Amino acid sequence: MVQDVINQQKNERDRLLSAHFIPRDAKLNLDSGLINVIIGPRRAGKSFFAVHTLNGSRFAYANFDDERLIATENYDEITDAIDRVYGNPEILLFDEIQNLQKWELFVNRLHRQGRKIVITGSNSNLLSGELATHLTGRNFPVYIFPFSFNELLNSSGTGESENAKTLFLDLLEKGGYPEVASGKAAGRDYLQMLFRDTIYKDIVTRYKPRDPAMISKLAELMIAGTGSPLSLRNLSAVTGYNQRTVSKFVLYILNTMIFFRVPRFSFKIKEQQISAGKTYLIDNGYLSSIGFNPSANQGKKLENLIASELYKNSYKTGMSLSYWKKDYECDFVLHQSGKVTEIIQASADLSNPKTLEREMRALITASEDLQCDRLTIITTNEKSVRSFEWYGRKREITILPFTEWVSKIYSLP
């Protein structure tokens, strides 16, 4: 019985391998001696990435989103069937492993036996914060998000061209989820379905809140407040829940990885951790699909896209991301090892001189405070270098279109 299932799934694996694959800015580390754990929001392409990355090696595939496998009481039957079907494979790929009861004990046992293991699963059971508990420090996390600009541009094979501008506009409005980016699914309907599915499977099913509809309402309010400081007091007033309950629900929502948090900058780590922080979406498609006017606020969409690209790239570079606010406010501060490396403003349209002056004033003030002279304004299409003086403080400020700026951040080591 189990062997029949593994045989059928081998055919599924081979069909996945025959499908077109867009390379991702992520790598497995199979020589580390650790369990490779692929983490990311639902439907971002984790399983597809795993299968194609392992292509060419002797790997077995078992998908636990199958009632016949998870009904197996003796887990040795699963590994025995895998070894018979695949001839003692070098690597085990376990997909949706969280569906198996006590999966962490099973995986840890195989790891102690010297098996190389790669696992994927839904966020509700494979959250990064829980890995240390489940796998006792034996894991190597690999993050897969909806496609970045760089991943899609490289896959087009056309390089920096008019295609880059078209791709930018698509990401700005539709986002980069694989089904949407490939044209296989209509963006708005697909993302609404994915949003509901994520809320239900990653939060409602797991935590069983008394009012499931309130979780969706909170998430929609967070989408509407993208790029603004998260106010538990305001969310409490709107929902009628006390701030403690709202804080708990917000944490559940953040853990789905649809959202991410950008803290207020401080040289003191503790102050960053306790700041309200701003929330952004991992994919711009949600801005146009859930609780938001699709034609509203081009500047907000650009800001979210920039935040998303910086956040995804931070897993490659180790760069930390914050925002700065004192008398003025700057959208993004990049810092590493205690040193600020760049201060960024997002502005879709600088045609109004007052807008340009406001952005430059904020950058110069932040530059003075943070001791950083690399100042950038990211726009939709303008490119120039401006010299600006404010109360005797003079700086050069670089203005770049998104397509040119984003290529620079992915060229960093």
Q: Tell whether the model's pLDDT for residue 159 goes beyond 80.
A: no
pLDDT at 123: 60
In this structure, what are the phi and psi dihedrals at residue 76, rounded to the nearest 5 degrees?
Answer: -65, -25
When mean pLDDT is compared across 38-42, 144-148, 190-194, 268-272, the lowest value belongs to 268-272
Q: Closest Cα partner for 114 from 39, 35, 191?
A: 35
Cβ pair 344, 312 in contact under 8 A: no
The 10s digit of each residue's pLDDT in 165-218 is 999 999 999 999 999 998 888 788 999 999 999 999 889 988 889 899 999 999
Q: In the β-sheet with 59-63, what is the strand arrangement from edge to edge?
A: 59-63, 91-95, 116-120, 35-39, 139-143
Kindly tell me the burial class for residue 307, based on how many C-beta atoms sit within 10 Å of its own C-beta (0-12, 13-18, 19 or more): buried
In the structure, what pLDDT confidence band is assigned to residue 393 with cuts at 50, 70 and 90?
confident
Q: Tell whether the model's pLDDT for residue 64 goes beyond 70.
A: yes
Q: Tell whether the model's pLDDT for residue 413 goes beyond 50.
A: no
127 or 303, which is more confident = 303
User: What DSSP state is assigned to residue 75?
Assistant: T
The 10s digit of each residue's pLDDT in 337-358 is 889 999 999 999 999 999 999 9
The percentage of residues in the chain with a pLDDT greater than 90, rounded to a whole number, is 72
pLDDT at 344: 98
210 or 91, which is more confident = 91
pLDDT at 202: 85
Kindly tell me the burial class for residue 204, based on how many C-beta atoms sit within 10 Å of its own C-beta (0-12, 13-18, 19 or more): middle
**Three-class secondary structure of residue 407 per DSSP:** helix
**How confident is the model over 37-55, as a mean pLDDT?**
94
Q: Closest Cα partner for 324 from 281, 256, 267, 388?
A: 267
Q: What DSSP string runs through 178-235? A: HHHHTTSS-HHHHHHHHHHHHHIIIIIHHH--S-HHHHHHHHHHHHHTTTSB--HHHH
| Half-sphere exposure in the Cβ direction for 209 (13 Å, CA) | 21
Query: Tokens representing 202?
Result: 């990653």
Could you tell me the pTM of the whole model? 0.92
371: region left, alpha or beta (phi > 0 left; psi from -120 to 50 alpha) = left
